[in-house]
Amino acid sequence: MESSSEALKFRIEGTSDRFWNKDQFIEFLIDNQDKSIELSVVPEAVSLRTLGVYEWLDLFQFRSVKIQTWNPLESNSKYNIELIGHNYCFDFCTNNSTPIDKNLHDWNRKNIFMCLYHRPTASKLALASYAEKYSSLIHFSIDTSVNNLVHFELDKLLHYDIPSTVRAANLIQTLPRLISSPEKYTSFNLYDFSDPITAFYKSIFVDLVGENHVQGETFFPTEKTIRPMLLKKPFIVFSSKDFLEYLRQMGFRTFSDFWDEDYDGYEQGDRLRKIYSVIDYIGSKSIDELEAMYWDMKYTLDYNYNLLINKKFQRKITKL
């Protein structure tokens, strides 16, 4: 049998249900039948079943197939799935040498929601445009130049929730929406908790997180989820099904004592509509009521922060 070093390699590129280099993948499979192949995944943890990767592999015969991924939920009885390692985002965020300003751990009552986004995915367009009717900080650093239009997921939003497309279309006309310099929205700068964008966390009550991987069996929290925990703010997450449940497996606490987290059992349009209800529930409360809620959840916020800083969280999870 050929060694791993002799295997023919291909990098799968996809986001959620979009297989960006599918044509090249099919050509690779055709050209390398009856050989050993090794597949890697970019970005880290996109669900291969959702992309249709296994359906294509099943059409051909290979000596061996190895697939390397960061997705701890990826599994297939026919092909060799190799987990590269545990989620590195937790280490990147907590190893930062810049101390967090403790003033950011408080809330100054100025705003309720924050939408801190760049890539205009369906969920991010929907959440930002829905939260706009309440007191919200919205940062959308992408502009609507011709080269960027291919990244706007209005077609997917039509499948999620048709009424949301009207609000999203109105929002798009105002982009970019900046609360700070657009070049500050990168994964590297956002690990620097002294940057201008992070300073706005003292102004918000809850972070509306739009994660990278939102469809299929996948779990890979990024700095988008870790950041509010380090800044001691509650969060609502649009991600894959059971995302909060897996966070709890890691030892973190979520916010079901304060609002309905039933949305976690759903994905795509159903998850979005459930989150709308949570946004309305929170947004309908007075600032005094929200401040009382904020103080009541201090134990949860402190607990998550300390779990991160002390690296006491569980890295291994069990697939539901």
Task: Express each pLDDT in 192-209 by its tens digit.
Answer: 677 788 889 999 999 999
**C-alpha separations of 270 from 17, 98, 153, 159, 197 in Å:** 16, 39, 17, 10, 31
What's the CATH number for 89-309? Answer: 3.40.50
For residues 76 and 50, the answer to whether their CB atoms sit within 8 Å is no
Q: Which residues of 213-247 are buried (b: 16+ CB within 10 A; e: fewer)?
A: bbbbbbbbbbebbbbbbbbbbbbbbbbbbbbbebb
Lowest mean pLDDT among 93-102, 142-151, 284-293: 93-102
CATH 3.40.50 domain range(s) in the chain: 89-309
d(CA 222, CA 74): 17
Across the range 116-145, mean pLDDT stands at 94
CA pair distance 115, 273, nearest whole angstrom? 17
Instruction: Note the pLDDT of residue 198.
Output: 86
Other CB atoms within 10 Å distance of the CB of residue 27? 12
Judge whether residue 17 has pLDDT over 90: no
Q: Is the pLDDT of residue 71 over 60?
A: yes
What digits encode the pLDDT tens for the residues 24-70?
999 999 999 999 999 999 988 999 999 999 999 999 999 999 999 99
User: Is residue 183 exposed (0-12), middle (13-18) or buried (19+ Cβ within 10 Å)?
Assistant: exposed
In what side-by-side order are the strands of the sheet with 64-69? 18-19, 8-15, 36-42, 64-69, 80-83
Under the banding of pLDDT at 50, 70 and 90, the label for residue 216 is very high
